């Protein structure tokens, strides 16, 4: 079963399309045990209401890939949800392949990659490694921060048609061409979600970060075509992560896009 299929199955089984982003503020190295405990506590509280957990460098750097982080990944899988590594792979092919192999060995079910590096000697080795191990690759199409327009929104020439298009349009087309398991489009840019959704025609699910703390609205993102919502600080920084996750899940249940 492919990662995309496993996400669909998990989402259906959990009645949730929420991906929990386990992001926390900076902690001094000597506090890393406390950081792991905090991550485990939030996971325990929110896991009934999410279908996957996304981890960024926020936890990789202080916990260590094959130390505390691997322990956390085991906990995630014990909760019946999937683990996504938000490493934004963006280097030459040989380096990208090693990055993928290390993260997949640590237990991640999928990773996020940046299509800026291209296919040949870029992301091709990542996709090949993922396919061999039945893992997933999710591509960035349009990020959730305000500066995203400077890169993902810049005007470029479509090499196939020779016409002027936005960079994110080409990235959406690459996601379809490369058979990516998903694309990231910020919930803060619902008009981009709508446009990319029309390009993908339901063949590649859209993951939307930026809900809550960055100003993105869950309902608006879903209406525009988002399949999964990536939510971090609204849950992780809440005084009651369990209640926050439950409220968000309840507000979006039954409104999934296919």
DSSP-derived pairing of the beta strands 82-89 and 52-55: parallel
CB distance 202 to 143 below 8 Å = no
What's the residue count for the chain? 258
Separation CA 116–CA 217 (nearest Å): 27
For the question of residue 146 being annotated catalytic, the response is no
**Those residues with Cβ within 8 angstroms of residue 184's Cβ, 6 or more apart along the chain or in another chain:** 112, 138, 139, 140, 141, 142, 143, 206, 207, 208, 209, 230
**Is residue 234 within a helix (H) or strand (E), and if so which, with residue range?**
helix 233-236
**Those residues with Cβ within 8 angstroms of residue 45's Cβ, 6 or more apart along the chain or in another chain:** 240, 241, 242, 245
DSSP string, 115-151: GGG-IIIIIHHHHHHHHHTT-EEEEEEE-SSTTHHHH
Q: Is 80 helix (H, G, I), strand (E, B) or coil?
A: coil
CB neighbours of residue 67 within 10 Å = 13
Among 38, 79, 88, 223, which one carries the catalytic annotation? 88
Catalytic residues: 88
């Amino acid at each position: 079963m492919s990662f995309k299929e496993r996400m669909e199955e998990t989402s259906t089984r959990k009645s949730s399309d929420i991906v929990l982003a386990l992001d926390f503020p900076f902690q001094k190295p000597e506090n890393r045990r406390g950081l792991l405990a905090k991550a485990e506590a939030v996971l325990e509280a929110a896991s009934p209401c999410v279908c996957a957990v996304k981890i960024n460098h926020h936890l990789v750097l202080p916990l260590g890939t094959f130390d505390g982080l691997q322990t956390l990944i085991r906990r995630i899988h014990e909760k019946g949800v999937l683990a996504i590594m938000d490493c934004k792979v963006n280097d030459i092919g040989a380096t990208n392949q090693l990055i993928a192999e290390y993260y997949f060995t640590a237990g991640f079910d999928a990773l996020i990659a940046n299509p800026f590096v291209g296919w040949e000697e870029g992301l091709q080795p990542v996709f090949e490694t993922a396919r061999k191990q039945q893992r997933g690759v999710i591509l960035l199409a349009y990020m959730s921060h305000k500066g995203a327009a400077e890169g993902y929104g810049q005007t470029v020439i479509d090499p196939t048609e020779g016409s002027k298009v936005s960079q994110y349009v080409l990235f959406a087309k690459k996601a379809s061409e490369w058979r990516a398991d998903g694309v990231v489009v910020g919930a803060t840019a619902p008009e981009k979600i709508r446009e990319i959704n029309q390009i993908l025609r339901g063949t590649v699910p859209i993951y939307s970060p930026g809900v809550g703390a960055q100003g993105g609205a869950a309902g608006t993102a879903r209406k525009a075509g988002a399949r999964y919502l990536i939510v971090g600080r609204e849950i992780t920084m809440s005084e009651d992560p369990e209640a926050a996750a439950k409220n968000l899940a309840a507000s979006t249940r039954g409104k999934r896009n296919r």
